[in-house]
Amino acid sequence: MPSHQPWYHNNITRSKAEDLLSKAARDGSFLIRDSESVQGAYALCVLYQNCVYTYRILPNEDKKLSVQASEGVPIRFFAMLPELVEAYYNPNMGLVTHLQYPVQREEEVEEEPEPNSHPPQLPPRNFMADAKESESKTSEQATKSLSDMYLMRLQHIDLSTLSEEHQMAVQEYVRTSIFLDAEQAQNGNPNLPGLKKLITAVCKNLNSEISRILPALELFHRTLDQQLSPGIGPKQILADSGQSVSYRLEQLTKLLYSIEEKAKSSVFEAVGYDGGHRKSLIPIVSFEVKQESLGISTKMVLKVDVESGKLYFKKSKDGPEDKYYVHNKILQLVKSQKMHAKLVIVLETEKEKILRKEFVFDDTKKREGFCQLLQQMKTKHSEKPEPDMITVFVGTWNMGNAGPPSNIDSWFHCKGLGKTRDDTADHIPHDVYVIGTQEDPLSDREWSDTLKNVLRKITNISFKQVAIHTLWSIRIIVLAKPEHENRISHVFSDSVKTGIANTLGNKGAVGVSFMFNGTSFGFVNSHLTSGSEKKIRRNQNYVNILRFLNLGDKKLNPFDITHRFTHLLWLGDLNYRVELPSSEAENIVTKIKQQQYQELLSKDQLSIEKNEGKVFLHFEEEEITFPPTYRFERDTREKYAYTKAKATGTKYNLPSWCDRVLRKSYPLVHVVCQAYGCTNDIMTSDHSPVFASFEVGVASQFVSKQDLNSAPQGGIQIMNCVAILLTKSKTRFFIEFHSSCLEKTVKTSEGENTEQCDRSIKVWFGNKVELTPIISDPEYLLDQHILICVKSTDCDESYGEGCVALRAAQFCYRDFQITLTHHGEKTGTLTGGIQLRTSEFKPTEKLYDFIKIERDDAAPSKGKGGDKSSVAQAHDISNPSYMGVSFKSGGATDRGWSYSMAPKNVPGGAQGGRESKKPSYDLSIRSPTAMNYTASEDEKLSEMLDNPLYGSMVKSHGQAKDQGHPQPDILTPTPDGDCDRPPLPMPRNRSFTSSENRAQPQLPISLYPPGHKKPVVPSRSDGGLVQNRPPLPSKSRPEPQAPKPRDYRDTSEFPGKQRVPTRPGPLLPNKDTHPEFPKTGRPVN
């Protein structure tokens, strides 16, 4: 399609097309864009009565184009788009109105070429460009120009090191033979005989040397080859000396690498390596701590022996061990939220009693190092065949076109500035290393070997390369432990160019994706447009990468990469700057020296754009506590080089956090950032390397313990879905449900549209959709997610995507609310409910549940010992890891989703502001229990069930106020057509996107009866971000009913709450069951 047609807008997004037509504001305005759903097809967008109508233009087998218009209108075929457009200027062609006013394309601001805007190691192509620009210039003139250029270069090169024979050969080629090659190329012969003759002459001795040494190498290679079968004669490789020297050298290089790998493998195996591991990989580490007992502080030493799986308690560093506990007797580590250096170790004694020991470490980093070592011990000695948690190192570094220094260990140890790892964790290797580089001058092989050697030196493990992908000088490489080699599958890599006109690869992105057992990972390394004033261009780079980077499951076509992976990590030189005038340069440097980062971060372009929803919507970034990583003087980290002399004047590059790591994960999964910072001893570039370390929960390739023949068929019910779509399109919509746990993709029927006062569309999709999982085992289902896509019926294009976690409905029906996005933009919201129908089960304890957080308002313990249930009663402990909560300051991050209990007395079919006459669901299904409760009890219930595993039910307004982030109430929509009725206030859901200068998202009116307002209580799932919250009154705490002793290790709930019953059906009085707690695996009637 010719791009000069004014009405053709190439691959702009649907929302951008709607904006352009809205600005035109005339009936009959139109444009044509590429279809988002069918490759090679187009979408004709027409404005009529302030609504956008979209028609698909599809090619047939003969490449003829036709418009899918109204029924009853004869279909016409056209060879070219201009013919089609010309025909549809006529009325009565089946469109809502005939075409009248073409909407012009917006002129894009062209980027200025950058100094390094050419691909590395490529010959100059200027002569080709000149030949194309000037038709009068003949090929002979172009070749003469090329010959003169090369001769001029030879004059400036010292040729004294070459033999006279080689000098004459090179000069002869440049003077004469190059014309012969040009003639051959013009006639379609790519062999270039002149060049071949030159290489043969120069490499005459090399050819004979290859022929001489090759047999010896082949023989040695066959000796190392364990697959050699007896009786097979010697295989002649590259015996034909007539082959090109470059080809023979390439094969020779591969042979040498193969010999090196085989020899290393044999030697490692002989000296006792097991998959690259040495014995006693992690040395014994001691920690000096203080133990509090009866108000008396006593010094002690904790000694961790990971390899033997023992924890020793000593009264002095050099004294004898008082006692030790084996790994399976260490039940839990409980971190204090108030005192960041305090830790409680829950132990099981020989008499099966529970012992709580409280210790205070020297600082928080020591405590974290101790916890990581204990977790490593648990992992090493776990009896589980597959891991349920791994650690991932993510590093990004703009190398500044300079090779790395000899020592880059600190980068992989997460040492330097910011949130760093303690020295005691130095010997704990990560499971996966993901390294992204920009302006990387090395070859793939050089960089890969460098990284493997560094990791082998610091971990004693020979890491395996999972993938490597390079775009010009942008590179990503993934390395993994050898033991994970068979757990990693479905590896894909891709790249997107975003340089000048999106055709140059000096800027862009490379990505890698893979499956780790049952969990999908995506990694993107990007180098975006530079320049403080070009943030809009950077935003465009981000959207283009999001749209066109082809990674992950190809079946998930409607979804971009932000929805295709359980965990997506985005790293690189994003080039967002601190937006301050250049006159503030000295003040910025002064604040950096004083470590006053917050004021500068408030002017950080990425944070500003992200908060406004323009880029990285729903991505999270750990708190930045390290200085700007750009732009330093090379070979020092003491001075920022913020000025740069150019021909046009002085250019300012203010110190900025250009190099970043962000992540986006599915709802209710375990992910914790353990480190985020930069090195301060790697100084070859003007950028400092940035590191991040993540602890990530993973799902195994599930093998059900149930008998598939006798196990009841499970089910997933999604009901009462109501979408609010921010669009002016005039079309009908349906929902598609995608998941690897489903037998097939499921579609709903068409929804019922209602136009809203703000010109958005509310779509009601009926009461219930039944999804059939491939495996009904509840333990499998709780790790799964349902991807939701709202599509149009006329062009099958997505109008918004989101994700729902099945874990949210572990105990009972849950209401959900998700933000719909498309190509990185918010396109609306979707509310509904989800219910699981599964058999009863006993949850398996996950390794990441070994470490928990103790609430500050928990009741104090009244003794050291007790039975295994006493700990659960005495303390309120929760694990914030599902929500990624850490001890950073600031408000709760908007993740685009929230879950809540269904309100009381609301019939199941009354969602979405319409009175449904279909049978409503029983209250015992809609609410967490089968018992009615009053409004005051509602607050108690919120406190009991509001934990990070399932998301906050309400957002604390007081907290938002204290933190300086105004959080307006979300208002319920008025009934259809009644725009003047005052809205009802509602409590703000925890993770919902909201700002004061935007239209508030609308929730189904039936969530609460008119006149009823649910009490707003402080959310306890925000990971302790509120420090001064008073304890709950004793009357508001649920009183346990004399529970019988039970095994604490089998308790997966948070202490302070009774264990959830596992039997489905109505609640019966039981001494082990609190009457106000939900059931597990409740069947749906």
Closest CA to 845 of 388, 390, 520: 388
**pLDDT value at position 3?**
55
How much of the chain is helix, strand and coil, in % rounded to 5? 25, 25, 50
Report the relative pairing of strands 752-755 and 761-764 from DSSP bridges.
antiparallel
How many Å apart are CA 725 and CA 722, to the nearest integer?
A: 10
**pLDDT value at position 140?**
63
Which amino acid type is present at position 477?
Answer: I
Structure token pair of residue 1023: 């990971």
- The 10s digit of each residue's pLDDT in 86-111 is 999 999 899 999 999 999 987 765 55
- The 10s digit of each residue's pLDDT in 571-625 is 999 999 999 999 999 999 999 999 999 999 999 999 999 999 999 999 999 999 9
To the nearest 10 degrees (0 to 180), the angle between helices 178-186 and 193-202 is 140
**Is the per-residue pLDDT at 269 higher than 60?**
no
Q: What is the band of 705 on the pLDDT scale with cuts at 50, 70, 90? A: low
Give the DSSP H/E element, type plus range, for residue 208: helix 204-224
Report how far apart the first and last C-alpha atoms of the chain are (Å, whole number).
56
Residue 787, sorted as left (phi over 0), alpha (psi -120 to 50) or beta, turns out to be beta
How many Å apart are CA 806 and CA 782, to the nearest integer?
A: 5
Closest CA to 608 of 664, 656, 675, 544: 656
Closest CA to 523 of 604, 435, 609, 598: 435
Rounded to the nearest integer, the mean pLDDT of the chain is 77
How many Å apart are CA 816 and CA 834, to the nearest integer?
A: 7
- DSSP per position, 269-333: HHTT-BTTBPSS-S--EEEEEEEEETTEEEEEEEEEETTTTEEEEESSSSS-EEEEEEGGGEEEE
Q: Span 387-399, mean pLDDT?
A: 97
Alpha helices in 602-706 (DSSP H): 605-611
Q: Which residues have CB under 8 Å from 277's CB, separation 6+? A: 460, 461
Cβ atoms 48, 30 nearer than 8 A = no
- The 10s digit of each residue's pLDDT in 1016-1057 is 444 333 433 334 444 444 333 344 444 444 443 343 333 333
Q: Span 704-709, mean pLDDT?
A: 60
Exposed/middle/buried for 135, CB within 10 Å: 0-12, 13-18, 19+? exposed
Structure token pair of residue 510: 């490379």
Give the DSSP H/E element, type plus range, for residue 493: strand 488-497
Closest CA to 1079 of 857, 921, 925, 878: 925
- The 10s digit of each residue's pLDDT in 120-154 is 554 444 433 443 444 434 556 666 676 777 787 77
Give the DSSP H/E element, type plus range, for residue 676: strand 671-678
Exposed/middle/buried for 224, CB within 10 Å: 0-12, 13-18, 19+? middle
Q: What are the start-end ranges of the E strands in 517-555?
A: 519-527
% residues pLDDT > 90 (the chain): 51
- The 10s digit of each residue's pLDDT in 968-1026 is 333 333 344 444 433 434 433 333 333 334 344 444 433 333 444 444 444 333 433 33
**pLDDT value at position 162?**
82
**pLDDT value at position 169?**
86
Exposed/middle/buried for 571, CB within 10 Å: 0-12, 13-18, 19+? buried
How many Å apart are CA 226 and CA 97, to the nearest integer?
A: 74
Give the DSSP H/E element, type plus range, for residue 652: strand 649-652
- The 10s digit of each residue's pLDDT in 431-466 is 999 999 999 999 999 999 999 999 999 999 999 999
Closest CA to 313 of 370, 269, 381: 370
Q: Span 6-24, mean pLDDT?
A: 92
Global pTM value: 0.71
% residues pLDDT > 70 (the chain): 70
Exposed/middle/buried for 555, CB within 10 Å: 0-12, 13-18, 19+? exposed
**Is the per-residue pLDDT at 199 higher than 90?**
no
**Is the per-residue pLDDT at 231 higher than 70?**
no
Q: What are the start-end ranges of the E strands in 534-648?
A: 567-573, 643-646
- The 10s digit of each residue's pLDDT in 789-839 is 999 998 899 999 999 999 999 889 999 999 999 999 999 999 999 999 887
To the nearest 10 degrees (0 to 180), the angle between helices 139-155 and 178-186 is 150
Q: How many CA atoms lie within 13 A of 304 on its CB side?
A: 25
Q: Span 390-401, mean pLDDT?
A: 97
How many Å apart are CA 44 and CA 94, to the nearest integer?
A: 13
Radius of gyration for the alpha carbons in the chain, expressed in angstroms and rounded:
33
Q: Span 939-966, mean pLDDT?
A: 37
**pLDDT value at position 682?**
98
Give the DSSP H/E element, type plus range, for residue 585: helix 585-593
**pLDDT value at position 1078?**
37
How many Å apart are CA 766 and CA 769, to the nearest integer?
A: 8
Neighbour-count burial for 752-772, b at 16+ CB within 10 Å, e otherwise:
eebebeeebbbbbbbbbbebe
| CB-CB neighbours of 107 under 10 Å | 6
- DSSP per position, 933-966: --HHHHHHHHHHH--TTT--SS--HHHHHHTT--
Task: Give whole-number Cα distances, 544 to 507, 534, 561, 748, 824, in Å.
Answer: 12, 15, 11, 30, 10
- The 10s digit of each residue's pLDDT in 286-332 is 999 999 777 788 999 999 999 999 999 988 777 776 789 999 999 99
Q: What is the band of 198 on the pLDDT scale with cuts at 50, 70, 90? A: confident
**Is the per-residue pLDDT at 268 higher than 80?**
no
